[in-house]
Amino acid sequence: MDFEMGPRADELRGQLRELIGDELPERFPGAFTDDPTDLAAAQRFCRVLAERDLLCLSWPEEFGGAGASVWEQTVVREEMWAHHEPRGAQYMGVNWVGPIIMRHGTSEQQRSHLPPIAAGEVIWCQGFSEPEAGSDLASLRTYARRDGDSWVINGQKIWTSYATMAQWCFLLARTTRVGDGAVTKKQQGLTIFLVPMDNPAIKVRPIRTMMGPHHLNEVFFDDLRVTDADVLGEVDAGWSIVADVMAFERVGIARYARCERLLAAAPEALGQRWDDLPAELIARWVRMLTHCRRARLMAYRVVALQAGGRIAPGDASAYRIAVTRLDQESAEVLMEIAAEAPDDPEAQWFRAEVEDHWRYSQAATVSSGSIEMQRILLSRALLAVPR
């Protein structure tokens, strides 16, 4: 597989790294720490990217983008994830909320939602998982009932990232129960709603975790009233949109870029102590670098398919499995290496970065769809018989 990034790729990487160095605090720890200035720095950085047409680089110009290639957007994605994702929560709107609204939204929804995302002015959260409906998402119980020309939504979501700071929620709810009318399967009768998070009928309760603040929350909907204008796509046809979301979301998280950056930084961080590491540990370090390359190429394959207008759930799942295993296996190797680092500022930075990477990697097998579900989806794609 030989993927050509285009003549501007190296220039773009250099431009992005220069912006990161100029616009962010030194050793930026990411947006989701206990210090609110870190989130504020990420929000400022997003606006800088937007002003230079770099935030939504590959979006069509009519929606606030620069009309660049998907490969240039891939360069942006890699550099952001390699450097602690300084866009903060904005990557969600950029990578999949915006593209999904382009595919399935009305003209009014596109005019309303896409320019604020492209300008770095709005944060979205995803209202999918529920208690007892995580990997088995189609079993969700949040229900939207028709009431005249409105919908009234009641239910609960869980593990909702960024809900405390988001202005909008991409919400999946049941609109027809199984057994009613033509709905015979749980994947039918589901609908996507685009709802504002400042509605008083929505309550958010943070969930404390070792990953830090802002990440995970419970969200409760108590007689939330919305209209048909808030429905994305067709009523009862939301599951097909969910499949698109998953394909865009899973390839949009370029965790391999951060793994590769930390692995490459290890020899310099250890200095003379590097040569004293056991040969077995060095061999595992080399293996992880190889697995970084594998995950990168698998991501490029999905990008190429999406650029051609194809959604490939099986390929997206294969990539997700590879990058999830890379995340956890590289974290274990890096933790062993970091334990041997000397007591100097460069090594302290390395140890802190590795520990952060390890914490995030622990959730990798369940976030964005559990690895078990990815294996099921991949096996279905491989075993599918053409009809």
- Residues with catalytic function: 249
Long-range contacts of 145-148 (CB under 8 A, 24+ apart): 145/175, 146/175, 147/225
Cα torsion 29, 33, 35, 37: sign = positive
Phi, psi of 258, rounded to the nearest 5 degrees: -75, -40
Residue closest to 89 by CA, chosen among 40, 142, 129: 40
Would you say 218 and 285 are in contact if contact means Cβ atoms under 8 Å apart?
A: no
- Residue 78: which of 281, 324, 254, 337 has the closest Cα? 254
- What SS3 state is found at 206? strand
Q: How far apart are CA 316 and CA 300, in angstroms?
A: 10
Residue that is written with structure tokens 């943070």 in the block: 206
- Written as six digits, the tokens of 178 are 């199984």
Angle at 5 between CA 4 and CA 8, to 5 degrees: 130
- Read off φ and ψ for residue 218, nearest 5 degrees: -100, 145
Measure CA of the first residue to CA of the last residue in the chain; give whole Å: 29
Angle at 147 between CA 141 and CA 151, to 5 degrees: 50
Structural tokens at position 93 = 């709107």
CB atoms within 10 A of CB 140: 23
Q: How far apart are CA 349 and CA 351, in angstroms?
A: 6
CA–CA separation, 188 and 238 (whole Å): 8
Measuring CA to CA, how many Å separate 51 from each of 57, 73, 121, 127?
A: 11, 16, 11, 29
Cα–Cα distance, 230 to 232 (Å, whole number): 6
The Cα 328–Cα 334 span in angstroms is 10
